[in-house]
Amino acid sequence: MKLALLCIAGTGVLVLGCLWMMSRISYRVGRRHVRVLLFGIPLRRIRIDQIAYASKHEPNAWAERWYNTLRISHRLLTIEKRRGLIKNICITPRHRYAFLGEIKSAVRRIDPEAEWAQVTSFEESTAIVTQANDPEPKD
């Protein structure tokens, strides 16, 4: 009985520790990388020149998930890479539109021809996604 209680208590402490560690994940946009940090230590780096697209939509395929909250619905940001086995990375910055703006600025600085990074409004980005998904142009 004592061993069972110790196991349950240990599991509870482990779960709370994992949730606390998850809440300490942060994200930074640097000159060359978007970084996922835990206590300031980089866990994951995404090269800015490898970013093909970034949006607020859930990916259709497999994705790396670096969440720092349990409620992801209004904080999800998906970064799509140009290459790699898993091309999508999901993060949850506190202010996703401001962070998306930082990513777009960094991509424009590296690649001025990136069409998706020139977009400033939601309507314009929806038009670009619709054009990319539509195989033939409408007359």
Distance CA 40, CA 28 (A): 10
Print pLDDT tens along the chain (139 aa).
Answer: 888 888 999 999 999 988 888 888 899 999 899 999 998 899 999 999 898 888 888 888 889 999 888 888 888 999 999 988 999 999 999 888 888 888 888 888 888 877 777 766 554 555 554 555 555 544 4
Per-domain residue ranges of the chain:
50-128
Backbone angles phi, psi at 29, to 5 degrees: -105, 120
Q: What are phi and psi of 30, to 5 degrees?
A: -105, -165
